[in-house]
Structure 1
């Protein structure tokens, strides 16, 4: 008689080979992997899964899988570095550019249940993402940011903690890097945030640099919270503009959008946000333009309203905020 299934292992994951990107797999075509069933719990859904460990090349550190294959398929990411398999970018960059909403639960109570349900739906599928309807402007942005070749520098050994304290005595025989680690926001990364695409410092740096390269550097005046759209389609309306703005930025709420002012005569519009941080996020997401009614619309920052002389301002004078245009 076949052995009875262990009820405690129901929902646990078994696999024969990991889902990895080319960088994590390494440059050596002949590698040896160790495999351990139920070796650890998944870093996102907490389910035990099959863990793989290998050395990607000479002088590199040993790498291991940190999330299960189901979670990797849901986000289409590598099981080790958690970067997108198609573009090699953080999930926050990809989701922001393509306007993908984060539907996975992040609480400890629901994430395991969600992963088990998605495992059945993804049976035979490569990924749970549906990016076929994504705007071409977002795909163009990802193509510009994507790495065309593997970045094997990411496989370097970790920094030697003893060297940073001045206590390492192994010298050239030490298998770790003898460098002083930089203490910046990039050194403080969270696996959950990186996987779900929220508050990722690496993603913020990439999107900010790209936006500046496209001429969307945030103005020095922090009071500017508006973006200017030009060359709109003759069929565009305030409703269609507002709808597309909210759809392209699933991470923001409708209440964070102060107003949308459409000037039909000149075919332009002003998108007014309540917070500067939200406006900067929108500018980064629309660095390659925003698609509205089948047209790719260029985006620019709004301008500060010139200050009125003190002698012209009276108690009865009223003025709109410097960066807001209201109808």
Structure 2
């Protein structure tokens, strides 16, 4: 317990061993770590914590913890790579599949206070915000099982690219501990620790979910005017209100204000979910790649399809006019 004279250290973390995934820990069973109390501030809550540094194996770069254990426990992630400890996936993928809404504040003023409250709750045995297995849908669990990385991916521990080699000035040759490769400039090159932890605007997560949606037959159509998702095989008890409720609850990453309308066809037991923009529709398709559970039944999800309204030709209107009214589904 810190001395009373230094009240600022009351919320600082002291730990004996880090919370790590198998990949970051490395294949070497005899890992030697250095420990530095209050070595740096947490990358999410900004509180000082105990920093661990180690080499995960031969030819790998030295790694270190970047967030405190409280933040790692709240999200159930590794202190170094910030990936989920159970599935090895980014938090945005996991939270989207399990329909988890992050309640953590993102402002600098409130995040330290939130971390302290979560630490006291978990210390009292209160349920963590990530213990949502009983509430998760079967479609979301199935999605995570398909995407989960079951084996360690030690390639992630490779050394960084040599900046001198990029400039053509490295003279160490084969003795250089860094990689002599040209960096690839794409969206994956720009990642933010806050976005990765809170599961928002994560380019790695977007790539994983978009690829999975393509394999499940939900590749976005080329027509950018299509912003509708088609749901079929709805339960006989489904109504427009129940469908809307399930849609909103299963899309915590998409604001409810982006939902334009829900058109429920009772006779055909289907519904059209219309969004205000293409971005929201694509996020919905990715979240429902394995289907959508409504009243215990798995609902088939497809993209809507627009049609050209040639009927206006008879009324003297232009025949090239088109509307983005979903009348059928892509097969």
Structure 1 contact 76–128 (Cα < 8 Å) conserved: no
In structure 1, the residue matched to 2:131 is 130
Q: CA deviation at 1:224?
A: 0.6
Report the Cα distance in structure 2 between the residues aligned to 1:294 and 1:96, rounded to whole angstroms: 19
Distance across 2 between alignment mates of 1:66 and 1:316: 60
Question: What's the secondary structure of 2:325's corresponding residue?
Answer: coil
Q: 2:91 maps to which residue?
A: 91
Tell me the CA shift for residue 142 of structure 1. Answer: 0.7
Size of the aligned set, in residue pairs, is: 323
Partner of 1:24: 24
Q: Any idea what the Cα deviations from partners look like across 1:8-50, whole Å, max 9, x if unmatched?
A: 2110111111000000000000010111000000000000000
The aligned runs of 1:40-79 (5 Å cut-off) are 40-79=40-79
Where does residue 252 of structure 1 map in the other structure? Answer: 254
What is the match of residue 271 of structure 1?
273
Larger mean CA deviation between 116-125 and 69-78 belongs to 116-125
Rounded Cα–Cα distance in structure 2 between residues aligned with 1:173 and 1:220: 49
Kept in 1, the 8 Å contact 2:306–2:326? The answer is no
Structure-2 separation of matches of 1:97 and 1:311: 45
Q: Which residue of 2 aligns with 1:107?
A: 107
Alpha-carbon distance between aligned partners in 2 of 1:128 and 1:16, rounded to the nearest angstrom: 24
SS at the partner of 2:74? helix
Q: What secondary structure sits across from 1:59 in the alignment?
A: coil
Distance in structure 1 (CA, Å) of the matches to 2:26 and 2:325: 50
Question: Which string of whole-angstrom CA distances, capped at 9 and with x for unpartnered residues, describes residues 143-171 of structure 1?
Answer: 10111100000000001011111110000
Unaligned ranges ≥5, structure 2: none
State TM-score, norm by structure 2.
Answer: 0.94
Q: Which runs of 4+ in 1 moved over 3 A?
A: 2-5, 124-128, 313-317
Query: Contact 2:308/2:323 (CA < 8 Å) preserved in 1?
Result: no
Query: Is 2:305 the partner of 1:303?
Result: yes
Question: Partner residue of 1:222?
Answer: 224
Partner Cα distance (1:3, 1:315) in 2: 82
Instruction: Check the 8 A contact 1:73/1:128 in 2, yes or no.
Output: no
Deviations 1:98-139 (A, max 9, x none): 100010000000000000010011125795312221001001
SS in 1 for 2:310: coil
Mark the CA change 1:4 to 1:184 in structure 2 (over 3 Å): closer, same or farther.
same
| Alpha-carbon RMSD | 1.9
Instruction: Identify if the C-alpha distance between structure 1 residues 242 and 165 changes in structure 2 by more than 3 Å, giving closer, same or farther.
Output: same
Equivalent positions of 1:107-256 (< 5 A) are: 107-123=107-123, 127-132=128-133, 133-256=135-258
Q: Is the 8 A contact 2:309 2:323 kept in 1?
A: no
Question: 1:152 and 1:315 mapped to 2: Cα distance?
Answer: 62
Q: 1:84 to 1:126 in 2, by over 3 A?
A: farther
Structure 1 residue 3: deviation in Å? 5.9
User: How has the CA–CA distance of structure 1 residues 3 and 245 changed in structure 2, closer, same or farther, with 3 Å as cutoff?
Assistant: closer
